[in-house]
Chain A
Amino acid sequence: MRTITLAALAAVVFTAAAQAAPSKPERVRVTGEIIDSWCYLTEIMYPEGSAHHLCAIWCAAGGIPVGIKGDDGKVYTVLKLGADSSSVANPGVMEIQSHKVEVDAELYVRDGINYLTIGQVVSDEGIVNLTHDEYGIQPFGE
């Protein structure tokens, strides 16, 4: 009986250790637009480019995860920029909100979500997705 108890305890310990172990990331280059993940993924309003820039800043300041809409069609969630590991209203990320960028990053894929830790912004074209003429300023029009 004691053997069974020890075996059960060991199984719990090793299972917990396995769950806590960090996963191995993949080094990637991602090109795309910095977006507000919530508005883009829920489609509650037009979510891209200059039309959505103001809302995207609001959402970033409010701590909603900032993402990159990749040219590869994937959405990435940004967890870190350079040495700054903050991902709630990260000032460096807010500064490049809605910009078209290329980043050098590490990618962690977990339960269907693509998480990025960005080592470096390789290129920054600024806001090139000029959508305000068609969609106005989201969401309130001014």
Chain B
Amino acid sequence: MRHLIGVTAMALAVLSPAAQAAEKWGLPGEEAVRFEAKVVDILCELSGDCPANCGGGTRQLGLLNDEGRLILPMKNQVFFAGAVDELIGFCAKRVVADGLMVTNRGYTFMALQFVREAPDGAWKRANRFTNKWAERNNVAADSAAAKRWFENDPRVKDLISRHGKLGLGLDADKEFLGD
């Protein structure tokens, strides 16, 4: 039941057209937050391996706040998608990040819902992943394929075609799911 409530709450938030900041998703240990931070390439921050433009969208990005705390934004507002496409345009810049800080199973991380360039840029909903995925895959951003990108992603389709949905091989899928 707890899982169902969480998924339902997140689905409502993802599908909601309203741009209300810090929407609750019903996640365990969630807290609405808004703070200023610098967008950094996490691997660069940790190891000194620093390619141009924070890796150009190929690396996980962090939010380094004014206390020096490195926050990991794991999620955006699109189904099954992370926060990098939302933040890469702000590499090395200060932003105002809005969303949920989640503490569970001993770890604290963030779901990014809205972001703007600090101090007073225009708010952007953290759902640009869909447009960028559509652009990368040469489909319209408002197409059915883009809305259910996860079922149409060529990398996903390739993996499933070789290993099946269970990851155990095509015969295991056939036995479990039928023809």
CB atoms of B82 and A77 under 8 A apart: no
CB atoms of A65 and B74 under 8 A apart: yes
The contact of A132 among B59, B107, B159, B176, by CB within 8 Å, is B176
Report how far A44 CA is from B107 CA in the complex, Å: 15
CB atoms of B68 and A54 under 8 A apart: no
Majority SS of interface residues in chain B? mixed
Q: Is B48 in contact with chain A by the CB < 8 A criterion?
A: yes
Report how far A45 CA is from B58 CA in the complex, Å: 27
Given A80-B43, A88-B82, A98-B167, also A75-B48 (CB < 8 A): no
Per-position binary interface string of chain B over residues 1-29, scored 1 when its CB falls under 8 Å from any chain A CB and 0 otherwise? 01100110010000000000000000110
Q: Is B84 in contact with chain A by the CB < 8 A criterion?
A: yes
Per-position binary interface string of chain B over residues 65-76, scored 1 when its CB falls under 8 Å from any chain A CB and 0 otherwise? 000111110110
Q: How large is the interface on B (under 10, 10 to 19, 20 to 34, 35 or more residues)?
A: 35 or more
Q: Is A59 in contact with chain B by the CB < 8 A criterion?
A: yes
Q: Which residues of B contact A127 (CB under 8 A)?
A: 166-168
Q: Is B47 in contact with chain A by the CB < 8 A criterion?
A: yes
Given A25-B47, A43-B2, A108-B47, also A53-B59 (CB < 8 A): no
Report how far A98 CA is from B58 CA in the complex, Å: 21
CB within 8 Å of B: which residues of A? Answer: 19, 21-23, 25, 37-38, 40-46, 50-51, 53-55, 57-59, 61-65, 75, 77, 79-80, 85-89, 91, 94-95, 97-99, 106, 108, 110-113, 115, 117, 127, 130, 132-133, 137, 139, 142
CB within 8 Å of A: which residues of B? Answer: 2-3, 6-7, 10, 27-28, 42-43, 45-49, 51, 55, 57-60, 68-72, 74-75, 78-85, 102, 104-109, 129, 149-150, 153, 155-156, 159-160, 165-168, 176-177
